[in-house]
């Protein structure tokens, strides 16, 4: 009898996120050419082929998955089975993708991708959302010029470190002064 009562009150988890809307629609790429390029890039990544982000350039990709984002920086493998669930991409810098020439080169690229994932994981382990945002912004500014980082949407950083886009906006506006005033 108790199990019948329990079943009656159980509810199903329902996603309110409409699956037919891509992340790129939310990330507002101002230029139509940029949106078309990102769409073509996503099609390329979903083709099943493995590519490597050129390690000789300051470039990378933010890969949007169902509920999070991943960053693939210089030297990282992208595409193939690893990114079949990718729903959107945001190229950073002057993106250059290379095709691996050998099995060893592919393996090395996968190891580098894991390193990028570990870096983001270390940042997300911080329980304070504002500090996570500040850390990811600092990391990106080490790899890319500040003007490029400033152009990246708040939603992209939010999905990388598990915070609301408003938190990213607040940290960007107030910077490290916010840390001394609030405990997020």
Q: What is the mean pLDDT of each run of 10 residues along the chain (184 residues)?
A: 43 37 49 77 94 96 95 97 94 95 97 97 97 97 94 96 96 73 48
Half-sphere exposure of 112 (CA within 13 A, CB side): 19
Both tokens of residue 12?
A: 């199903």
Q: Other C-beta atoms within 10 Å of 29: how many?
A: 17
Residue 121: the pLDDT is: 97
> What is the strand order of the sheet 77-79 is part of?
77-79, 50-53, 97-98
Residue 159 token pair: 């999905």
Q: What is the pLDDT of residue 7?
A: 41
First to last CA, the chain: 45
d(CA 79, CA 134): 29
Strands 59-64 and 97-98: unpaired
Residue 171 main-chain phi, psi, to 5 deg = -65, -40
Residue 31: the pLDDT is 61
Token duo for residue 126: 């911080």
Does residue 133 contact residue 163 with C-beta atoms inside 8 Å? yes
Pair of tokens at residue 1: 């009898």
């Amino acid at each position: 009898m108790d199990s019948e009562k329990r079943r009656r009150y159980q509810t199903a988890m329902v996603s309110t996120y409409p699956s037919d809307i891509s992340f790129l629609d939310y990330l507002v790429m101002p230029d139509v050419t940029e949106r078309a390029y990102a769409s073509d890039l996503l099609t390329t990544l979903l083709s099943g082929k493995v590519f490597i982000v050129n390690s000789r350039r300051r470039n990378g990709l933010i890969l949007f998955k169902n509920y999070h984002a991943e960053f693939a920086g210089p030297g990282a493998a992208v595409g193939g089975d690893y990114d079949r669930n990718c729903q959107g991409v945001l190229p950073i810098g002057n993106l250059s993708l290379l095709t691996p020439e050998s099995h060893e080169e592919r393996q090395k690229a996968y190891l580098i991708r894991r390193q990028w994932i570990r870096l983001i994981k270390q940042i997300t382990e911080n329980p304070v959302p504002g500090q996570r945002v500040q850390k990811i912004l600092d990391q990106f500014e080490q790899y890319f010029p500040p003007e490029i980082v400033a152009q990246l949407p708040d939603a992209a950083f939010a999905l990388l470190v598990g915070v609301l886009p408003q938190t990213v906006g607040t940290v960007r506006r107030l910077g490290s002064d916010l840390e001394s005033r609030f405990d997020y």
